[in-house]
Amino acid sequence: MSEQLPISISVCNDLVQQFTKIRSVCNKLEAQFNFQTMTANWYGNEEAVLSVKLFIETASSFTIHKQAQAQSEIKHYSDDVFSYYNNSEKNQTLSCYIAITDSEFSMLNQQHKILAGLLHIKLQKVLNLVAKQLTLDTI
């Protein structure tokens, strides 16, 4: 049985079907971001470890999730990123939804090789916005 890492990345099924390497890219990014946040001392208090769940969505699934959370206290980072705290979890969990915009989707369809770079930049930017919000060191 393996322990859940503080940062996890999930990808919607539509993106998995469209981009066959997206899961392996996200697995590598998950490991990298967990290491970087650990070295940036995000988890100094072992009694209250912050968990961040990153959900990568299509533009349409992003809108559906955003509407579903209309009653929650949502933090909007940009037009394509929002987050909220999941209070049902034992530890403090921040769920972040990130949309692959239509223009990004078009670029990825034309050039599959930019997938890893685009996701790295986009997810790192979101994690640094979270760090700023929570007064943690950026990665």
Task: Please indicate whether residue 15 or residue 88 has the higher confidence score (pLDDT).
Answer: 15
**Pairing outcome for strands 75-78 and 51-58:** unpaired
CA atoms of 42 and 49, how far apart (whole Å): 8
In this structure, which amino acid lies at residue 29? L
pTM (2 decimals)? Answer: 0.92
pLDDT of residue 43: 83
**Domain ranges in the chain?**
7-133
CA atoms of 78 and 99, how far apart (whole Å): 10
Say if CB 77 and CB 40 are below 8 A apart.
no
CA atoms of 131 and 54, how far apart (whole Å): 14
CA atoms of 83 and 15, how far apart (whole Å): 20
Q: With bands split at pLDDT 50, 70 and 90, how would you rate the model's confidence at 44?
A: confident
% of the chain with per-residue pLDDT over 70: 92
